[in-house]
Amino acid sequence: MKKKYLSIIVILCAFLVTACGTNNNETTPEENTDTQQNTTTENDTDTENDNKAKSNANTETSSAKENSSLKTENDSKSVPSDNTSDATSESPAQENSTLQSSQPSNTPEDYYQVCTSFTAQKVESFASNVKAQILARDWEGLSENLSYPITINGNTCTDSADFLALDIDSKISQDFLDAIEAETCQQMFCNYEGISMGAEGQVWINELSGSSELKITAINGMFE
């Protein structure tokens, strides 16, 4: 009988021990709820921090792009545009000729009456045009102001085609060009033979009889 009771007591003790262990391992619904809430709060905090970081990064990127755009715009404004590339420039000889021809002449109107009926203004305007053509090497234009036939350095030209065939650019004398460039085309030397251009009479101008126009009747020392 005692053994029987003893066995029952042992079984009860074992049951109590098992029951106590199970209760310790179990979590109450309230504890689970608190844990879930804590976890949710932590997740929300992490998400909010991530969103703030992304927002700050986007703001910094936008500011950098805006600063870059402003810098590019300022750089483009600071570079002056060049609008002078199409400007036409003249050679020093042409500029000097233009300046001289634009200066008012003090030559009396009848200064060249010894050889022409044209006024001084008309004569000097024609001479200035001849000077400009020679310095610009406009041989075609000059050929229209020649009186044919004309002999140039032993070459007789009967028309403009003969004159243009002389290969002037390869033969022309620098002394000849310098003398024409130095000519002021004002109060030029003149006598019954005509009007002289150049210190040594490099070009002679005359009024052609019966034509009422001025022409070049002689060219001296044009070639080397």
CA–CA distance, 123 with 195 (Å, rounded to integer): 9
Task: Look at residues 200, 190, 215, 207 and name the one whose alpha carbon lies nearest to residue 129.
Answer: 215
User: Does residue 224 belong to any structural domain of this protein?
Assistant: no
Question: Is residue 112 domain-shared with residue 202, that is, in the same domain?
Answer: yes
Write the CA distances from 67 to 54, 79, 125, 146, integer angstroms: 20, 19, 64, 71
Say whether both 35 and 145 belong to one domain.
no
Residue 160 lies inside a defined structural domain of this protein: yes
| Residue at 38 is within a domain | yes
Residue 181 lies in a domain: yes
- Taking the chain (224 residues) in consecutive chunks of 10 residues, what is each chunk's mean pLDDT? 64 66 49 48 54 55 52 44 40 48 78 96 97 98 97 96 96 97 98 97 94 94 94
12 and 119 fall within a common domain: no
Per the confidence metrics, is the pTM higher than 0.95?
Answer: no
Which residues constitute the domain of residue 146?
A: 92-219
pLDDT score of 26: 47
79 within a domain of the structure (yes/no): no
Q: Give the Cα separation of 151 and 155 in Å (integer).
A: 5
Q: How many domains does the chain fold into?
A: 2
pLDDT of 21: 54
Distance CA 129, CA 203 (A): 13
Rounded to whole angstroms, how far apart are CA atoms 70 and 155? 72
